[in-house]
Structure 1
Amino acid sequence: MTSSEDFTAAVGNALPFLRRYGRALTGDQTTGDTYAAAALEALLTDRSTATGSSSVKVGLFKVFHTLWKSSGSPVDDGESGLRATAQRHLSRLTENTREALLLSTIEEFKLGEVAEIMQVEVSEAEHLVNLARVEMEDAISGSVMIIEDEAIIAMDLESVVADMGHRVTGIARTQSEAVALANADRPDLILSDIQLADNSSGIDATNDILSAHPGLPVIFITAFPERLLTGECKEPAFLISKPYTEHQVRSAVSQAMFFSSTETLSS
């Protein structure tokens, strides 16, 4: 970066995505934001990691990863009740696999950048990503409801989810259809677009569903993820950017299933 203004702008642009990564990694907005804030503070105190990295964004994520690893990548084995199943599955995963998968798929870093962030060889980063896909998809199966008004996209999502071994409860095109479907067949996870057929909102639809069925994990698909990552209110832990890839969907669904608060998941 050639100026302090450029550096600040680059950090500001990267921060919403670091917060998304933190929440997906920890399964909790508050915990994820705590790590993101610590990484930001560390980077602003010492810019050498950013200036010595391939980009400021990579440097920021590298600082986050260093803090995450220094804390032991905590998985709380003492959990009981709703989060216990998710934590048991997390404790069985090979070290560093979830981080590599999230960085590669959801955050769309190239393998070289994933390796740089995690401070491993590129071949190791590739191995971790591939291993994560196998381990996570084999660990949990459940039911998924899709809220999407575009038929082609809905069919594509349904195909990906079904291929992962999950049961699709149905596809809703509007807010009212979504609420009715969730009440008729309660899903373990919701995969939702933001803008629906009748100009209703996928966010409003999921809020209505969560008021009746609290704790369901939700994955939002949007062309503008940064609009939901402002830090001004409660935000979704899982966001997929449009246009999405199959790997992004598979990664997000696997991650969300791990942090599902429902006890109906099978292992």
Structure 2
Amino acid sequence: MIVNQIGEARTALHELIEQSENIVAFTGAGISTECGVPDFRSKDSPWLRYKPIEFDLFMSDVLMREEAWRRKFALDDIYSMAQPGRGHYALANLVRQGKMSSIITQNIDNLHQLSGVDDEHIIELHGNGTYATCLSCGLRHEIADVRRAFEASGAAPECRSCGGPVKSATISFGQAMPEEAMQKAHKATQACDLFLAIGSSLVVYPAAAFPLLATQNQARLVILNGEPTPLDSEADLVLRGDIGDILEPFAS
């Protein structure tokens, strides 16, 4: 069933949430656009101007590492001050109530954490852009420290511990998905009875496979997005509209 009216959408979602005991959310860029974080596919998206450097190029060419950091900081200047929106707070409230066990997210903006959700309930499939890691030893590096050093020298940052290449703690194109996060997401999806796919185009795999996994395990699937997705026909309920408007009542 596809619902376009906001009142109907809120009512239908409320009924499913009340009937459920273990909800898992799966979030994409659409939940953060009202916060000022650009999505990837809009016509004027800054991601099109500052395209991510593929992982193999990052690793093989120091000039590409420098360019990757230039693009990273340009994007940070656009949205690094973003704060959680109504959708983030709605999910945080469901976690707090014990209705939602996990939030699986494709986003790298840290907004679920800022909304008050503990790390134990958040599974980041594409990493986190608010810090960096050494690709050799795994040491965490704070973005502010990396930026100061980069702007002073223009050189691609190296680990202060082992000298290895330092990269934003995000998953680049061509980089292996994080095994632990994928396992956690798989386990959470199999255990839920309601799977909420929110603000995702559901075209990026393997992440987009989780909604189907949920239905295979008899969970109900709700897709909340501003545009149609390839999995709409598999959903028990499709809510088409503004994510913040629909989720706002669930934030308190």
TM-score by length of 1: 0.28
Of structures 1 and 2, the one scoring higher in RCO (CA 8 A, sep 6+) is 2
Structure in which a larger fraction of residues adopt strand: 2
TM-score by length of 2: 0.29
